Amino acid sequence: MAAPPALSWALPLLAALAGAGGHRSFELPGAPIDNIEVSGRFVLVAGGGCLYEVRSDLSRSRRVVPPGGPGCREPSGVRSKLLLLTHAEAGVDGQLLAGWTQGQGSCEVWRLPDYRLVLNRTEVVSCLPRGSTAGVVFRQADDWYLAVAATYSNGERWPPAGCEPSESSQTAAITVRPVKTLEPRGEWDIIKYNKEPLHFVDALWWGGRLFFPYYRLKAELDRDPELPSMVVMHQPHRSEHSFDLQGQVYLDCGCRSLLISSSLVRQGERGWWVGVFRHNHGDRAWDSTAVCVFGMEELREPTCVYSTHFYAGTNCKVQSIKKSPTLIHSGLVAVYGTVVLNQIVLFLGTDDGQLLKAILNEDMKSNCPEILYEIEEETSIFPKLRLDPVDSNYIYLSSANKVRRIPVANCGRYVSEQECLSAKDPYCGWCSLNQRCTLKENCTRSNSTKGWFNISHAPDKDLKILLRFPARNQISVSASISKTLTSCRIKIVKPIEMPHENVVLKNSSCVCNLTTPVTLDNDCLVLEASLSSSSWNLTETFQLENCSWCIHDGECASCNWTRVSPATACQDICSVQNASKDITTAQKSEHINIHSIKPLWISTLGKSEITVKGENFTHESGIKLILTGSSVCKQEIIKVRNVINDTQMTFALPPTRKEAKSVCIQADGRKCSPPVTLHYVSLPACFGITPNTSWISGGRKIITTGRNLNVVDKVIISDDQRSNLTISECPQNKSEYHYLSPSLSHATEGKVVDMIFKVETTFIPCVKLHYHPDPVFINYQLHTELDPDLELKIYKENDNLNISKTEVEVYLSYMNGSQTAKIYFSVQNITEKPDRSTILCKFKREGTEKIDFSTVKVFVKLGNFELEVKPTSSYIYLYVLILLPIVVGVIIVAFIVTRYKSKELTRKQSQQLELLEYEIRKEIREGFAELQMDELDVVDSFGTVPFLDYKHFAIRTFFPESGGFASIFSEDMPQSRDQTRKDESFNMLHALICNKNFLVTLIHTLEKQKNFSVKDRCLFASFLTIALQTKLVYLTHILEVLTKDLMEQSSNVQPKLLLRRTESVVEKLLTNWMSVCLSGFLRETIGEPFYLLVTTLNQKINKGPVDAITCKALYTLNEDWLLWQVSEFKTVTVNVIFEKIPENESGDACQTIQVNVLDCDTIGQTKEKSLQAFLNKNGFPYGLQLDEIGLELVSEEQQRELLDIDGSSEMMEDGIRKLNTIAHYKIANGATIKVLKKKTNTRSDVDYSDEHCHLILPDSEANKDMKGSGHKGKQKFKVKEMYLTKLLSTKVAIHSVVENLFRSIWSLPNNKAPVAIKYFFDFLDAQAESKRITDPDVVHIWKTNSLPLRFWVNILKNPQFVFDVKKTSHIDGCLSVIAQAFMDAFSLAEQTMGKEAPTNKLLYAKDIPLYKKEVKAYYKAIRDLPPLTTSEVEEFLTQESKKHENEFNEEVALMEIYRYIVKYYDEIVSKLERERGFEEVQKQLQQVKALFDEKKKCKWV
C-alpha cells in the first residue's frame, strides 16, 4: 500500500531514525573534533591537545597522545591540523604523522603500534587556529614523502602571539618533505604564494602528481570573488624525486567562490574529484552550496603552467573548467565518494546534522539524495567523512565532539522486490530467502545470485528515455528497452508550462504534436517525459538547446538534448544568484509582481497558511507556487489556496524534509517569479528558561532559549484550573524568545504551570514555570539627612523569586500644592539577610524644590504587581500592634469557651475529616507522581552471571521437589572385587530398557497400576532421562511413540487438554527432554536477560521499605506481598568502613563505601545492603557472612554498637518489641558506620517471632500516633487500595527488562529456531494433519502446552534452577505474576476483565494483546522455516549426548528403575506373556532379576 502523499516525504527520515537506534558512537572528552583518520584496525580521533585510538566498531578507546597529563582542553588553544598514516610493510612498522598548532605548527612522527615518538619538527603545519592545512603521504623509491599545503601566514602585520613564521616560511604555501626528516630538501620543494594567503582544502596524490584544491583567503569577504582553483605539481625529473609546479586551473561550479570539502573517487586507473562549493554571501539560501564532479584526467594536464597565486611559470591565461552542478543544496559541508557496482555513491554532510546519500549515473547526474541519518542536536557535520575500512557497510560521521558509525544504507525501508530494485541503491538487494531488502552481508546464502540480487541483476537496470524529432512540431518519446507502454505523459516545463499536448500512445513509444507555438527563451526548452509499463515507472527531464529549427521546421542537425535536473535547466547560475538576492527587483514585464512571502521559516510539518503579497493577482489565472528543494529532487507544485485581493493571496505548504527550498510564483502563460529561499527546519526544541520563577501577579520578563523558535505558531501557558492561555504569536528569534509571564490571579498559593509550543496541530512541551506568591514588602525607611540626595531602604520578606535590581521599579509620590508629584529612584542593590532582604534606592535631587514628607507615599512595582509600602512605625504603635491581638485573642477565647463550646467538637470533627482527606489526596498524588517520574537505577554491570553447571541444572529441573537426589547422583557406586560381575546386571538392565517395545510396554503397564502415583510417574520419567542421557536419539523416539499413544487416548475426549497436566510419564519426559535440549539456548540467549530481571526486581523491592518480619514490601508486583502499612521514610547515605579481615592477610586494607539505606531499615537490613554495596563495587564478596559481622556507629563522642534488639528497643503493647532502625539510632546523612567481625552471636542474627514487629505494628497500635508524621495527636488513616499504584510503579520500573526477556524467548536469532523446538512443533503439525484436525486452535494449544507451559514457566518461576541464587518467598510471588502474564500471551481466549478483576491480571492487561500478536508471529515464523531433515535432528541430539557424558552416575538411575520393575514384577510379566513377540524379552528380564537378587544377597544393593 502506498504512503499518503502528505507523508511520503517522511518515509526516508523515519527509516533513518529507525536505523539510528543501533549505531555506536565515541565522544571526545572536553574538546571538539579537529581531525579523523582510519586504518584497518582502528580510528584515530584528534581534538584539542589529545589523540585517541578507537576500535573500528567504536566499542573501546584509549588515549595515546599524550599518554597522560591534563585534559583535552589543555593547553588552551591547541588544535589538530594534520593526521596521516603510512602503511606498515615487511620489516617496517607503520607511522603516524600528527600536526598541531603548538610549537609554531609542529609535526610529530609516531611509530605504530606502540606510539613511540620518532621525530618532532616545527613549522610544518599552520599554527593559526583557523589556518588551513592539507597534507598527503605518498611513496617514491622506497621512501615516504609528505606533501603539505598550509596557511602559514594570514597576511596580517601582527600575527598571533606564538605563531610568528620564520622568514623562510613567511610566504610558503606548499612543501614536499621526506617523512624521515620532515625537512624540505631544497628551494625547489617549496612553492610560495604570490600576493595573498590561500586557504587549502585538501591534498591528493593521483597518477604520480600532487593536487591541491584551494581558494583565496579573502574570497570569504570579497563582493566579486575569484573562483576556487586546483594547483597541480609533477616531477620534471623522476630521478631527482623533486616536484615543481605544473599549473593551475579554475574550478567553476556555478560561480561559487568557496570550496568546503573534497573527495577523491578511484576506480582502477580512472579517478574523479568531487568538491562541495559554496557562495560567499552569508545568508543560507536554497542554492548556497553545490556538488561538482571533475575528471582527474582533465585536471592532470593544465594547459597553462602560469599561476596567478604562486611564483612560478610563464605568463599565460589560466583556464577554467566549468561543470554543471551535480546537486544543489542549501547547506552541504562534507563529501565522501566511493564506487559501488560501477556507480559513484556520494555521502554528503550538512550544516544542520544530516547525512545524505546520492547515487550518480554515468552522466554524473544525481538521484534525489536519501537521508541516512540525522543528528538530534543538529550540529554541523565535520568536513571529513570516512568509510569503515573493515566493514564498508558503515561510514564514520563526525560532528562537534562525537564520532558515530552509521550504516551506509537503509535497505529495510523498501518493502517489496520492485521497490528494492527500483531504488537503484547499489548497496541494497533483494534477499529471496528472507523476502526482504537487505545488505548483501545480512542475507542468508547471499553468494548465490538467486539468494541475493540487486540492480546489477535487474533486467531494466539500463532503462532510459530517448527523444526523437520525426517530423515538424513533433516530439517522439520511447524507452531504451522495447516494452509495451501503459501510459505516457509529456510536459513542456520551460519557458512556459504546457502539459498534455496531444499525446498519441503507441506500443513502445508516444508522439507529442505541438499545436501551440512555443517561444524559446535563449533557444532553451525544458521538457519532462514520463513513461510507464507493467513493471516500471520512469520520469526524466531534458534540456533542448539550439532546437528552434528542429521543432518548428524539422531541421534537427544542430539540436542537442541532455538529461538535466529540473531546478537547473536553462539557467545561468550566476544570474539566478543575483536575481534571487532581492525579490523586489522582479521585472515589471512579468505582469504578476511579488513583493514578499511570509513566513519564510516553517517546520517540517508544513504550514497551513503562508501569505504572498504583490500586485495584479486578480488579473491572472492558474496561479501556483513551485517548491524546489535539492536540485535533483522532484518539484512540488501547489495551487493557490485563496486570492484575497489584488495584492494578497495564501498558499498551504505540505510537510517535507528538512532543508532550504526555493519558492517561486507562476501564473498560466507566465514565467516563474525570481526564486526566494524558504527554510524548512525541524520542530523547535526548548533548552531552558531564565528566570524559571514568577510572582502570581505576572508581568515578569522571561527569556526562553532553544532551537528553531521562529517556527512556533503560538506559545501557550497550560494551567490546570483554567483554559490554556496564549501569551504570544510567532516569536521571530530563532534561539531566544522573550515574553512577560501572565497573571494567575486565581491562584492563592504557588503553583507550577507548563510552557508549551504549538506548531500547526502539534503541541511540544517546553519547560515548567514556577509561580510563587507575590513578594511581601514589610516597610521602608526614608533618609533625608543627605539633602538634597534621598536614600530609601525597603525591607521585604525573603522568598524564592531571586528578584534582580533591574526588575524593581521604585517611586515616591507626594503632594505639590494640589497636584501629585512623583520621584523615581535608582535601585542600587538588593541584599539578603537571614531574616529579611533590603532594597537600597537612591535619588539625586536637582534644584531647590521642597518635598512635603508628611504626604509621602512609597510604591514598588514588579511587572503587573504594584504595592504601596508603609513606613516604619514608632514604638508606641508597635506596642499597640503587639497588645491588640493578645487582647482580642483573650476575648475571643473566653467567648468561645462560654458560648460556643458545642461548636468546638464540630470543628474538631471537621479537622479530622480534612486531615483524612489530606492524607488520602497526598498518598494518591505521591503515588501518581512516582509513577510518572520515578526511574530505577539498574546496576548494569552485575558481574558474571552465576550459572549453575549442567548437572545441578538438570537435577533441579528433573527433581524440583526432591532435594535428596543431588547428592545421590553425585556419589560413586560401591566398589566390588568382581568388577565385571558388578557391571553385568546394570548392563543387561540398560540393554533391556534400550528395547523400544519393552520400554513402551513397561511404561504403559506401570501407568495402569492404581498405586503408581503421579509422583512415581514423574520420578520414573526423570530416572529414565538420566539413564538414557547419552542416547538422546533413542529417548526422542520413545518420546514420539508415547506422545502418539497419549494423543490416541485424548483424541476421543478433548484434544485441547493434551499435555496440559503432568499426569503421565510422557508429559514429565517431555519436560525433561526440553530441559536437556534447550539448556544451551537457555544459557547463551535467555540467561542474561533472565538474571537481569531477577536482579532488577530485587533492586526495586529494596528501594522502598521492606518489613523484616513478614518480608512484605512497598514495591512489589503481587498484592499479597504489598506493604501498605508503611509510614513516611527517607533515604540516608552513610559511610561504611569495611575493616581488613584478620584471617585474610592478603586482603586489601580497609575501605570506605557510601551506602544508601532507608531510615526505616533495621540493622540487619543495613548489613545486607552494606555487603551488597561492597560486592557491587569490588566484584567479590567481603569474606564474612551476614551472621558473622556487626555494625558500630562511629562518632566523636563515642562508638556505639548497633543491634536489632537492645536495651533501648521500643516496647509496644502486649509485650511486643519493635526492631531498632536507622531512625531509632538517629543516624543522619554522612554518618560513619564500621563493619567488624562479631565476637558473640547476638539477638540480631536470629529469626524473630511474633514477639517482635518492624513496620507492620500490632493491631492495638495501629490507631496510635505515629512518630514523624507531621500531625502529632491526629490519627493516620491507611487503606490498602491507596497503595496499589506501587504495583504499577514496580511494573513500569522493570517493564523493559520483562519485555526484553519475553522477546528473547519468542524471537528467532538469525532467523533460526532451536532444533528441539522446530523438530517438536513440526512433529505436532504432522500429527494434527494425520489426524485430520483442521482447527488451528488445537495445534496452537498443543505447542503452548508442550513448550511455554511445560518448560518456560517452570524456568521463569524458579531462577534457582538456572542460577546460584536464593529465591525468597517475595520474589517467588512477583515471578508468579510475570509467569502468569507470560502464559496469558499464549492463550487464545479473549480476556474480558472488569474493575473487580485480580490485580495480577490487571497489571499486564494492556500488554497482553501485543504479546499475543508476537506469539502468533513466532509460531508462524517457526512453521515457515524449512523443515529439518532426520540427519540434522540426529546430529544435534548426538552432539547433546556427547556433551553430557559422565555427568551422572547412571547406575543410580538404573537402580531406581529396577526398584519399580521389581515392585510391579508380576504385572509386567503378565503383560509380556499376553503380548506376542516378547518371549526373548521375558528371558532377559528374568536374568536381570536373578543378577540383582544375587547382588542383594551379597549386600550390594
Residue 534's SS3 state is: coil
Coil vs helix vs strand at 269: coil
Neighbouring CB atoms inside 10 A of 164's CB total 13
pLDDT at residue 972 in the model = 46
Whether residue 15 is predicted with pLDDT greater than 60 in this model: the reply is no
Q: C-alpha distances in angstroms, 1172 versus 626, 1020, 1158, 1354?
A: 67, 42, 15, 28
pLDDT at 1030 over 60: yes
Asked, as a colleague might, if the bond just before 599 is cis with ω within 30 of 0, I would say yes
Average of pLDDT values for 1212-1223? 85
pLDDT tens column, 1324-1338:
988 888 888 878 888
| Eight-class DSSP state of 568 | T
Q: Phi first, then psi: give them for residue 185, nearest 5 degrees.
A: -80, -10
Q: Pick the residue with more confidence: 568 or 441?
A: 441
Check: CB of residue 348 under 8 Å from CB of residue 395: no
CB atoms within 10 A of CB 825: 22
Q: What is the pLDDT of residue 95?
A: 93
CB half-sphere exposure, 1427, CA atoms < 13 A: 9
SS3 of residue 1012 by DSSP: coil
pLDDT at 263 over 90: yes
User: 1343, 1321 in Cβ contact below 8 A?
Assistant: yes
d(CA 68, CA 756): 47
| Amino acid at position 897, single letter | V
pTM of the model: 0.58
1219 pLDDT higher than 60: yes
CA pair distance 1034, 306, nearest whole angstrom:
89
Residue 663's pLDDT is what? 93
Matching residue, cell 571538539? 32
Percent helix, strand, coil in the chain, to 5, is 30, 30, 40
* Alpha helices, DSSP H, located in 900-968: 901-933, 950-958, 965-968
Range with the poorest average pLDDT among 391-405, 1134-1148, 1207-1221? 1134-1148
Query: Between the ranges 116-120, 314-318, 476-480, where is the mean pLDDT highest?
Result: 116-120
The arithmetic mean of pLDDT across residues 54-71, rounded, is 81
DSSP assignment, residue 412?
G
The per-residue pLDDT for 200 is: 95
Q: Is the pLDDT of residue 1268 over 50?
A: no
CB 51 within 8 A of CB 112: no
pLDDT at 1184: 84
Give the position of cell 544568484.
Answer: 577
In single-letter form, the type of residue at position 446 comes to S
- 1463-1464-1468 Cα angle (round to 5): 145
1025, exposed or middle or buried, with CB in 10 Å at 0-12, 13-18, 19+?
Answer: buried
- The DSSP output letter for 870 is P
Of residues 773 and 468, more confidence is placed in 773
Cα–Cα dist 606/652, whole Å: 8
Residue at 1484: amino acid letter: Q
Q: Are 200 and 132 in contact (CB under 8 A)?
A: yes
Residue 165 clears pLDDT 60, i.e. is over it: yes
Question: What pLDDT does residue 1498 have?
Answer: 62
Q: Residue 224: exposed, middle, or buried by beta-carbon count in 10 A (0-12, 13-18, 19+)? A: exposed
Mean pLDDT of the chain: 82
| Structure confidence by residue, pLDDT tens digits, 399-434 | 999 999 999 999 999 988 888 888 889 999 999 888
Q: Which long-range contacts (CB under 8 A, 24 or more apart) does 187-192 make?
A: 188/242, 188/243, 188/244, 189/242, 189/243, 191/231, 191/233, 191/245, 191/310, 191/311, 191/312, 192/310, 192/311
Categorise residue 1242: left if φ over 0, alpha if ψ from -120 to 50, beta otherwise: beta
Environment class of residue 496 by beta-carbon count within 10 Å: exposed (0-12), middle (13-18) or buried (19+)? middle
Q: What is the pLDDT of residues 684-725, one digit of tens each?
A: 999 989 999 999 989 999 999 999 999 998 888 887 666 677
- What b/e readout covers 1139-1175, taking b as 16+ CB neighbours within 10 angstroms? bebeeeeeeeeeeebebebbbbbbbbbbbebbbbbbe
Per the structure block, which three cell numbers stand in for 1429? Answer: 531433515
Tens-place pLDDT, residues 720-732: 666 677 776 556 6
Does residue 1380 contact residue 1399 with C-beta atoms inside 8 Å? no
C-alpha 1426/C-alpha 1313 separation (Å) is: 10
Bigger pLDDT: 1144 vs 1347: 1347
3-state DSSP assignment of residue 267: strand
d(CA 745, CA 721): 11
What end-to-end distance do the CA atoms of the chain give, in Å?
A: 74
What is the three-class DSSP state of 525? strand
Cβ(1365)–Cβ(1372) below 8 Å: no
Angstrom distance (rounded) from CA 381 to CA 395: 13
Residue 1118 has pLDDT above 50, yes or no: yes
Confidence of residue 895 (pLDDT cuts 50, 70, 90): confident
Collect contacts of 1330-1338 with beta carbons under 8 A, ≥24 apart: 1331/1047, 1331/1051, 1333/1055, 1337/1056, 1337/1388, 1338/1055, 1338/1056
CA dist 1339 and 1342 (Å) reads 5
pLDDT band at 471 (very low <50, low <70, confident <90, very high): confident
* Phi-psi group of 524: left, alpha or beta (phi > 0 → left; psi -120 to 50 → alpha; rest → beta): beta
Are 700 and 799 contacting, i.e. CB atoms less than 8 angstroms apart? no
Residue 14 clears pLDDT 50, i.e. is over it: no
Q: Per residue in 201-220, pLDDT tens? A: 999 999 989 999 999 888 87
| pLDDT of residue 980 exceeding 60 | no
At how many degrees (to 10) do helices 1450-1463 and 1479-1497 cross?
A: 110
